[in-house]
Structure 1
């Protein structure tokens, strides 16, 4: 699955050395009916990490999905006017039956959407209105926010369903405490095998971060989600089979990231099920509990984000909890090679494979992945997934030579067809069928490297400084627990400033500035200084909230001028 480079009349194209077919099936048929799915009928596919007696097998889940789909259709009219007419919006913390809500929504013929469990009532109400949700789903942890949002969005309480904490599926609504009867009758989902229908369907819509204006709504189809699972996981399964191992039997992992983002929706609802192992659900990330469950269930696979790998590398609480881990992947943001190596020492007794992936909601998750059997210690984000293509272009949209940095443009069956009800965003995001990712990267020695988000680059006297590069360097310092970098005004230009969480009380700002200066080019020095803070603000999915740091910088700089 190496990435090859082709210089063509239309540009420099990067693509996987191998292409492969994947099942032309709708998502539910892939998971519940197809022999391609690794889960057996009695496989426990979802379980509660705190109480594993709360669990559901593939066979139980299939029947439950059909019953709930019937209830959604008959009681709430979901899908009665045809497929893709209705949107069901979910806001929930982690729950072992949360995937059932996802599958049932699709089975009823509707579009599933999700809001971060950290959303405020105002934010959730805005999303309800923006997407035109016909029904809101929540759980006990998010009930208050959902109720307040529904009131703001003029959604009746009878159309806000609350998932209970019982070991069986139980739903109530805001207007009655009695459980809503889940029909014993079943509704069969629409089986689809037509390639065009699969490509053009919409089964899931995810909100972008919305750093400017209203959040964009990313459309995902059956093809997007099926291809993502098959093209990434089938080669891994074949690799293990060739070595006499059953990937499904050895797969155990923990759902610890929010299921409102692509890592949760694709990773937890689809990929884990498709592999065929057991996924243990936490309501939210808690390091102590995460360590406890990882050891208790002897997890073999870990897919997480850099802040959690930072904790694995640096927390004194981490001892032998990850000794059973064989395969680990980092995503959502680039991770420096120093952190990658440090975290790996605490995974699988130092023998686990820890690689990086790169992708977005718009690529249904991974656009790159490292083939099994290949290790990488250079900090790359691996190689293109099968059937994927990429270009690296300058600000004028012209291809740069391999090894030079530019914006990554991509194509592939996992790439979204566009944004929901947003023609302007689609015109901006696509050029001749290529999706413009907004990420700056380069290709070197057969692998891709991410520099940073295009909009995050600091421009010091015309020279570009990538915050991610400085952050990777900073967290490699023995006395630094965490760090983030932004650009601030200074020297009549933009200069890098570091926000640092000290891991040692003796650490001084001057020590950091001098240490960084000894390791980077002149234009990358921390001319904006160092500010110590208690914690780096991050989104539930682990991305640094630079907007909050910029607001903090304005307050600090304004105060210093008084």
Structure 2
């Protein structure tokens, strides 16, 4: 069968699909170039038969056409991260068993060397594509489509395998919940337009933004990299209907807005008010960021919860009350439950591990049957995240491993402490971790980025924090740092923070 994503694109062939600095591209352009790429990848064979194809291309039309080309040739797409050093790229390429590498010329040196070392076919995006288009294979939607590598909290990253069917379920769930308008609406003015500023080796950028947009026949304006001034200039034009980002991006946009002239601020704000939805995810959204953004944009950011293995599972409502610090309720087609350490359901108000079931849940960890088996309990995927349901809404307490600190017999949420510390006048950013301690089991420790020209002692912080937190939640050690260690998605890497205290 033809993939539904392709069938839908054929119905929108004349409409603009991708907008970049290089120009505008229609769905027809995407279909045509991706079929040429698929022909090139097939190289005379009838079907790639789920061969893995690793590719490293900056966000833009070439990225999308390549991803679609891999899928249409019957391959599994393995997107690489543009900011990764050689050892990490090599790990993903070898772990996935990729037989080919496609690279933008910018990454030729690093990737050609890997291809040569491992005797893999190497293709540059600048190589001319033949005019001939071969008959493309029929692709069953139960086939593997994508391998994304998770930023594992322990050991090496694992390859999360999703099928075309999984992706379709993840996309249709979001398109339904967030009411993406189909492109066949009679009026062009109703057409969805989204600004894409997220990395494309991660589920947030690939599924929530790019694939949802292309599924809905929308227009996706892609930036090759995030730049707050460029983003504001585009938002100010008032042509977008949706925007999705991570908390660090909102922080940078807030800073840029605060530095702008009053006149400029008015146009920036006006551009935001023309949008129908703004979403935040991939990391916990600090309440004060949510409030500042609401003052600037008029939007109460929609927070949602998901992960590489499941797509999105929980979301605040599109219409109706959203609550700061909560991630709402289960999305369409998704079942969610909270269980205790014994695997028993917990009552509302009691913390439990989030477990998820549904057609969007991934197929397997690539060539790691033990990890796959360990990740499921009676058909439910065990997320390793702790949450509590209050007034029908889920509140994330953090990772059971990293964000849950066991100190002196108490279980403490690092996220809760961070939320409080961010309100301190001298603190700009913070990361709270548990550091092993013979007496307490773990000590609560905080790495702090201070506001410019400020100073802070442990003693004064503790005195201040004791007025807002139970004494066992108050940090017993602090470390002042220039910046917090983060991964490519802007998430603070807690294991690295723990190392700083050692």
Normalised to the residue count of structure 1, the TM-score between the two structures is 0.81
Q: How does 1:5-16 map to 2 (within 5 A)?
A: none
Question: Which residue pairs with 1:300 in the alignment?
Answer: 241
Question: Which residue pairs with 1:19 in the alignment?
Answer: none
Q: Deviating runs (4+, > 6 A) in structure 1?
A: 244-248
The 3 A distance-change label for structure 1 pair 42 and 473 is farther
- Counterpart of 1:464 in 2: which secondary structure? strand
Q: CA deviation at 1:425?
A: 0.4
Whether the aligned pair in 2 keeps the contact of 1:44 and 1:55 (CA below 8 Å) is yes
From 348, 357, 368, give the equivalent of 2:304: 357
Whether the aligned pair in 2 keeps the contact of 1:442 and 1:449 (CA below 8 Å) is yes
Whether the aligned pair in 2 keeps the contact of 1:46 and 1:97 (CA below 8 Å) is no
Question: Which residue pairs with 2:323 in the alignment?
Answer: 377
Q: CA deviation at 1:227?
A: 1.4
Question: Which residue pairs with 1:551 in the alignment?
Answer: 499
Q: How does 1:447-526 map to 2 (within 5 A)?
A: 447-456=393-402, 457-490=404-437, 492-493=439-440, 494-510=442-458, 511-526=460-475
Whether the aligned pair in 2 keeps the contact of 1:71 and 1:183 (CA below 8 Å) is no
From 47, 50, 60, give the equivalent of 2:19: 47
Question: Which residue pairs with 2:110 in the alignment?
Answer: 145
Confirm whether residue 155 of structure 1 aligns to residue 104 of structure 2: no
Q: CA deviation at 1:250?
A: 4.5
Distance of 2:7 and 2:455 partners within structure 1: 54
Distance of 1:297 and 1:45 partners within structure 2: 18
The 3 A distance-change label for structure 1 pair 274 and 490 is same
Q: CA deviation at 1:294?
A: 2.9
Question: Which residue pairs with 2:361 in the alignment?
Answer: 415
Which structure has the higher relative contact order (CA within 8 Å, separation 6+)? Answer: 1
Question: Which residue pairs with 1:32 in the alignment?
Answer: 9
The 3 A distance-change label for structure 1 pair 479 and 328 is farther
Whether the aligned pair in 1 keeps the contact of 2:435 and 2:501 (CA below 8 Å) is yes
Distance of 1:101 and 1:259 partners within structure 2: 12
Distance of 2:461 and 2:107 partners within structure 1: 41
Question: Which residue pairs with 2:370 in the alignment?
Answer: 424
Confirm whether residue 71 of structure 1 aligns to residue 40 of structure 2: yes
Distance of 1:248 and 1:418 partners within structure 2: 42
Q: CA deviation at 1:341?
A: 1.9
Whether the aligned pair in 2 keeps the contact of 1:219 and 1:420 (CA below 8 Å) is yes
From 246, 249, 257, give the equivalent of 2:198: 257
Q: CA deviation at 1:217?
A: 1.1
Confirm whether residue 129 of structure 1 aligns to residue 101 of structure 2: no
Whether the aligned pair in 2 keeps the contact of 1:355 and 1:375 (CA below 8 Å) is no
Confirm whether residue 206 of structure 1 aligns to residue 148 of structure 2: yes
Question: Which residue pairs with 2:232 in the alignment?
Answer: 291
Q: How does 1:308-387 map to 2 (within 5 A)?
A: 308-315=249-256, 316-317=258-259, 319=265, 320-325=267-272, 326=275, 327-347=277-297, 350=298, 352-363=299-310, 365-387=311-333
Whether the aligned pair in 2 keeps the contact of 1:451 and 1:468 (CA below 8 Å) is yes
Distance of 2:188 and 2:411 partners within structure 1: 44
Q: CA deviation at 1:202?
A: 0.5
1:51-103 per-residue CA deviation (whole Å, 9 max, x = no partner) reads: 2x52211122112211221121126x5xx45532x000112332232111111
Distance of 2:19 and 2:406 partners within structure 1: 48
Structure 2 residues without counterparts, runs of 5 or longer: none
Distance of 1:458 and 1:247 partners within structure 2: 52
Q: CA deviation at 1:117?
A: 1.4
Whether the aligned pair in 2 keeps the contact of 1:536 and 1:544 (CA below 8 Å) is yes
Q: How does 1:182-221 map to 2 (within 5 A)?
A: 182-190=130-138, 192=140, 198=141, 200-221=142-163
Structure 1 residues without counterparts, runs of 5 or longer: 1-23, 164-170, 172-178, 193-197, 555-562
Q: CA deviation at 1:211?
A: 3.4
Confirm whether residue 277 of structure 1 aligns to residue 239 of structure 2: no
Q: CA deviation at 1:481?
A: 2.4
Distance of 1:182 and 1:478 partners within structure 2: 61
Whether the aligned pair in 1 keeps the contact of 2:161 and 2:366 (CA below 8 Å) is yes
The 3 A distance-change label for structure 1 pair 312 and 181 is closer
Distance of 2:210 and 2:103 partners within structure 1: 16
Whether the aligned pair in 2 keeps the contact of 1:339 and 1:472 (CA below 8 Å) is no
Whether the aligned pair in 1 keeps the contact of 2:479 and 2:501 (CA below 8 Å) is no
Question: Which residue pairs with 1:15 in the alignment?
Answer: none
Question: Which residue pairs with 1:59 in the alignment?
Answer: 28
The 3 A distance-change label for structure 1 pair 110 and 329 is same
- Counterpart of 1:61 in 2: which secondary structure? helix
The 3 A distance-change label for structure 1 pair 214 and 248 is farther
Whether the aligned pair in 2 keeps the contact of 1:26 and 1:226 (CA below 8 Å) is no
The 3 A distance-change label for structure 1 pair 548 and 256 is same
The 3 A distance-change label for structure 1 pair 268 and 546 is same
The 3 A distance-change label for structure 1 pair 448 and 25 is farther
Q: CA deviation at 1:353?
A: 4.0
Question: Which residue pairs with 2:53 in the alignment?
Answer: 88
Normalised to the residue count of structure 2, the TM-score between the two structures is 0.90
Confirm whether residue 438 of structure 1 aligns to residue 384 of structure 2: yes
